[in-house]
Amino acid sequence: MGVEICVEGLTKSFGHQVIWQDVSLTLPAGEVSVMLGPSGTGKSVFLKTLVGLLKPDRGSITIQGRDITRLRERDLYEVRKLFGVLFQDGALFGSMNLYDNIAFPLREHTRKSESEIRRIVLEKMDMVGLLGAEGKLPGEISGGMRKRAGLARALVLDPEIILFDEPDSGLDPVRVAYLNQLIVDLNAQIDATFLIVTHDIASARQVPDNIGLLFRRELVMFGPREELLASDEPVVRQFLNGRMQGPIGMAEEKDAAQVEQELAQIDEDGPATAPAPRLLPGPGITRPPRWEAIARREAELHGTGVTSP
């Protein structure tokens, strides 16, 4: 049913370089959250810290009452079974074909028979639209397929939490749209907690319940989608509008005077852009109550039908 992740005062640095400090947020159970941020703000580091691959300097990450920053290695491996992670390039095992890759967690962790494994693997491959590519090696398929195969492998143990590391990087806009639809469909189907790390604004506008923004070694904001899309915070607005004027510079940040000047130059284009319509689970997906409520709200806001054609 999804699990809540509670992050308190998390700080991470490599040597003297602080990556981010004092990050506190709660990822609500079963909801989709997006973590935005300019390149190089440690989004991937944040993700790796969440699964315990990196140890933070300070702070806690609580999942099901356990602080995973203080767990022993052996317990950590247990907690990780709650997670499914989609790495940037899929991180498939290069020496195995797709079928074996996706079957790998089942073979390692369960005592299921080969026929049952086959059933589960084919079901997940069908979910991500990869049926027929079982025998291919990761080196032989496109980046988009690798990502979907990585997603299928992440899904195979029925995780409670799914983390996506830049699911849209290196994909063309059409594939990104398909992948976003897949993410929304999955959330409606399996009800797990989703965290997507990305810098793609279009996805961030359409997909999540919550948005967070990492910048200048801090979590600038974390909250419901509408709130962030309507926010007047300069960093948030610059990022969501993808423009040059604002606090975010080419090399991380600009000096304050220049930012003031630039902000003054922008014609105040009214309140922040109206919230884009949310992506809803496709037809044929039975919607749990949570998504029914979201769909009703969207229909009221935008006056569209329950599903977009």
Partner 1 sequence: MRLSPTGALRHSGNLFAMALDVVRSLPRRPFQAREFIQQAWFVASVTILPTALVSIPFGAVIALQIGSLTRQLGAQSFSGAASVLAVLREASPIVTALLIAGAGGTAICADLGARKIRDEIDAMQVLGIDPIHRLVVPRVLASMVVAVLLNGLVSVVGVAGGYFFNVVLQHGTPGAYLASFTTLAQLSDLWAAEIKALVFGAIAAIVASYKGLTAQGGPKGVGDAVNQSVVITFMLLFVTNFVMTAVYFQVVPQRG
List of residues contacting partner 1 (CB under 8 A): 15, 48, 51, 53, 73, 77-78, 80-81, 83, 85, 87-89, 91-94, 104-105, 108-109, 150, 153, 157
Q: What's the CA gap between 217 and 12, in Å, rounded? A: 9
Closest CB 138 distance from partner 1, rounded Å: 9
Q: How far is the CB of 5 from partner 1 (least distance, A)?
A: 15
**Least distance CB 44 / partner 1 (angstroms):** 10
Closest distance to partner 1 from the beta carbon of 105 (Å): 5
CA–CA–CA angle 309, 284, 183 (5° rounding): 80
In this complex, which beta carbon is closest to partner 1, that of residue 49 or of residue 238? 49
Minimum Å distance from CB 75 to partner 1?
11
Q: Considering beta carbons, is residue 105 or 224 the nearer one to partner 1?
A: 105
CB nearer partner 1, residue 159 or residue 208: 159
Q: Give the DSSP H/E element, type plus range, for residue 102.
A: helix 98-109
- DSSP calls for 165-185: E-TTTT--HHHHHHHHHHHHH
Extract the tokens encoding 224. 């419901």
Q: Give the bridge partners for 25, in sequence order.
A: 7
Closer residue to partner 1 (CB): 146 or 278: 146
Least CB distance to partner 1 at residue 85 (A): 5
Q: How far is the CB of 275 from partner 1 (least distance, A)?
A: 33
For residue 26 the two structure tokens come to 């709660």
How many Å apart are CA 126 and CA 132, to the nearest integer? 9
* Shortest distance (Å) from residue 83 CB to partner 1: 6
Q: Which is nearer to partner 1, 74 or 132 (CB)?
A: 74
Tell me the one-letter amino acid at 29: A
The separation between the first and the last C-alpha atoms of the chain, rounded to the nearest angstrom, is: 29
Q: Which is nearer to partner 1, 84 or 281 (CB)?
A: 84
- DSSP 3-state helix, strand, coil percentages of the chain (rounded to 5)? 40, 20, 40
Toward partner 1, which CB reaches closer, 87 or 194? 87
CB of 39 to partner 1, least distance (A): 16
Closer of 50 and 235 to partner 1 (Cβ): 50
Name the strands in the sheet holding 193-197, side by side, starting at the edge strand that comes first in the sequence.
Answer: 83-86, 161-165, 193-197, 32-36, 210-215, 218-224
Nearer to partner 1, 81 or 119 (CB): 81
Tell me how far apart the alpha carbons of residues 78 and 87 are, in angstroms, rounded to a whole number: 20
Residue 141, classified by CB atoms within 10 Å of its CB into exposed (0-12), middle (13-18) or buried (19+), is middle
Task: Please name which of 19, 16, 10 lies closest in space to residue 43, comparing C-alpha atoms.
Answer: 19
d(CA 7, CA 13): 17
